Amino acid sequence: MKKTKVMKQISIFVFLLLSISLNAQDLIKKTNGEEIPSKVIEITPELIKYKKTTIKDGPMYSIYITDVEMIIFADGNKEIFDHSLDKNLNVESSDIFLDTRDNKNYKTVKIGKQIWFAENLAFEIENSWCYKKKEEYCEKFGRLYAYESAIKSCPSGWHLPTDEDWQELEIELGMIDAVEEFGWRGTSPGQGLLLKKGGGSGFEAKFAGYKADGFWDIDNATYFWTSSKYKNSKGYSWIRFLNNRASIKREYKINSAGLSVRCIKD
């Protein structure tokens, strides 16, 4: 009888441990105040992968680290994400540049040894467009240029940046490796994050979209031409692509597409 009682107590104890284990959960706290009860699976330099505890045997979800304030783990430990930017960035505000061709002013920024437009070019030239052909988009986002027009679009003393110019910029902003790789690259806090509006580099990229068979991706992504041909191809050239990710994508696009232009000083 005594043995049975002991076994019963052990069973209850094991059941309690299992219940605690099953009910234990992590808590992801987003920067907007939202909380996600979860089981965190993996933390990468850019993403947090997790499963929702409210969905048994459910799918895996991902969330950008830039959207997360902290994780409170089931054991009480905390992972706090510091989204403050590197105060040692070699960035200087520069002058306003007047493009005398149409009397438009552009903010500029010095990042490292380079001086860039801090706004998209809006100079009207053949084979350049306002998004959806509406002037208000040109005023906010600049024009979208086909490659051959982009090559000729920058004012005297400035030029369309090469792929190597972009790589120099990315290295200046902290990209350690993978600079010459195809696809998404970048290290925490992410060169894509630094380049976007409010990112701290002064580059202030806005999501201007692009033109193909129509106009796409306004407020969701932006695409910048480089002057460098992709593998000496006559039909494609290297570009840079930014969206809500913290990294930046190096890829190529067909030359007939309409993309944004940032000029860099000669």
pLDDT tens-place string over residues 33-49: 899 999 999 987 678 89
pTM of the complete model beyond 0.85: no
Instruction: Determine phi and psi for 110, rounding to 5 degrees.
Output: -100, 120
Position of tokens 């593998």?
Answer: 231
Task: With H, G, I as helix, E, B as strand and everything else as coil, classify residue 215.
Answer: strand
H/E segment holding residue 240: strand 236-242
The first and second tokens of residue 107, run together, are 């903010």
For residues 132, 236, 165, 262, the Cα torsion angle rounded to the nearest 10 degrees is: -10
Q: What pLDDT is attached to residue 22?
A: 46
Question: Does 234 have pLDDT greater than 60?
Answer: yes
Question: Does 145 have pLDDT greater than 60?
Answer: yes
Task: With H, G, I as helix, E, B as strand and everything else as coil, classify residue 42.
Answer: strand
What CATH number was assigned to the domain covering residues 2-80?
Answer: 2.30.30.100
Under the banding of pLDDT at 50, 70 and 90, the label for residue 177 is: confident
Q: What pLDDT is attached to residue 21?
A: 44
Could you read off the pLDDT of 112-144 as tens digits, one per residue?
999 999 999 999 999 999 999 999 999 999 999
| Of 3-17, 168-182, 216-230, minimum mean pLDDT range | 3-17
Domain with CATH 2.30.30.100 in the chain: 2-80
Radius of gyration of the chain (CA): 25
Q: What pLDDT is attached to residue 31?
A: 81
Question: Does 194 have pLDDT greater than 50?
Answer: yes
| Of 44-53, 87-96, 127-136, 220-229, minimum mean pLDDT range | 87-96
